[in-house]
Amino acid sequence: MTKIQRNAIGFLACSAMLALTTACAASATPATPTTASASKDPSTVVIDYVPGVSQLPYFDTAYRGAAAQAKKYGYQVKYIAVSAYDATTQNNVLNAELASQPDLLLVSPVDDISLRPAIQRYISAGIPVITVGGTLKNTEGLVAQIATDNYQGGRIVAESFGKQLNGTGTVAVLNIAPGSSTIEDRVKGFNDTMKKNFPGIKVLEEQYGGATVPSNQQAVRGLLLAHPETNAIFGATEVNGEGATAAVAAVGKTGQIRVAAFDASPEQVKQLKGGRIDFLSVSQPANQMALAIDYAHAHLSGDKASIKPSTLIPNVGVTKENIDDPAVTPLLYTSGS
């Protein structure tokens, strides 16, 4: 049994303890050979990580997961600054960073189509690429794709709301903006589950609050004026959830209007413990990145048979009741790199 196989078994055992499942599908084509090899001094191997945006708890936590795992192999992970969560900014960063010629690229694409040309430049230059926390529609040449099972993450939010509302009521869904397949998968998982399992709950038309907490707070204030019957709000990202809790508090309905959100930033955890958020659908960015580093090592050392081309990592449902569970607390995000 190879080292990467042992690491994969350990990862799956951890997921099983949390009563989760991992879905995998073979969809990518192995990348062209890189100049890095098993004979290269590991201390000289540099792996770039380009996040969706830097200095956000999700991506900060992902980076630390990569850095910690890379130490086991003697590799260096470089956290590349991305100033805004949009495709144009991330494209510009990728194009500029290519000149540094890293040994491998880890990237969290914010768009599954428009990021492909910039990533293709790395592949064409012989630099292997693994996408983490986001995917591309065109997977040709990628080493692997590792991502959150966003559909499943949305599904567990719907199941939580369905039980909390006893199958009746009105719920709203808050997104950043149209166009992100990652977030839309969350919304689809939520909507499909509501329609199938809780037909007595009305789901309002999806709302878009932008990429800041204040803009989401304003969006929810408008939503509640138009739909005062709203019983629950699903924030599909950190900023959506934090904006929703702020708006609900501002109108004096904390505890009356339930709020659920993706992710587990320090602020979200604080709000959950304080009763302002009722449910968090928590991704596993550090675990995803640890697996990505294992795959990077396998690729660079020639053990490509150990790599699964596509892996989805399920979310964990976190509530006030289980947030201090030893199996849950390591999954909560922290800020800073």
- Rg of the chain (C-alpha set): 20
Interior/surface letters 66-75, b for 16+ CB within 10 angstroms, e for the rest: bbebbeebeb
Do residues 267 and 292 lie in contact, with contact meaning Cβ atoms separated by under 8 Å? no
Q: In what order do the strands lie in the sheet with 104-107?
A: 23-24, 310-313, 144-148, 129-132, 104-107, 46-50, 76-79
Query: From the first residue on, what is the mean pLDDT of each consecutive set of 10 residues in the chain (337 residues)?
Result: 44 40 37 49 96 92 97 97 93 98 96 95 98 94 97 98 97 90 92 98 95 94 96 95 96 96 94 96 97 98 96 97 96 88
The structure tokens listed for 320 are 């006030």
Query: Which residues lie closer than 8 Å to 294 by C-beta, 6 or more apart?
Result: 4, 7, 8, 69
How far is residue 300 from each of residues 99, 192, 206, 213, measured CA to CA in Å? 20, 41, 43, 41
Nearest to 53 by CA among 16, 75, 31, 80: 80
Helices 87-97 and 116-124: crossing angle in degrees, nearest 10, is 10
Residue 38's pLDDT is 55
Tokens 């990467």 — which residue?
A: 4
Residue 17's pLDDT is 39
The structure tokens listed for 94 are 């990728």
Distance CA 158, CA 161 (A): 5
Nearest to 86 by CA among 53, 132, 55, 121: 53
Residue 182's pLDDT is 83
The structure tokens listed for 297 are 């090592």
Give the global pTM: 0.83
Nearest to 302 by CA among 68, 73, 36: 36
Distance CA 317, CA 91 (A): 33
Residue 73's pLDDT is 97
Residue 1's pLDDT is 45
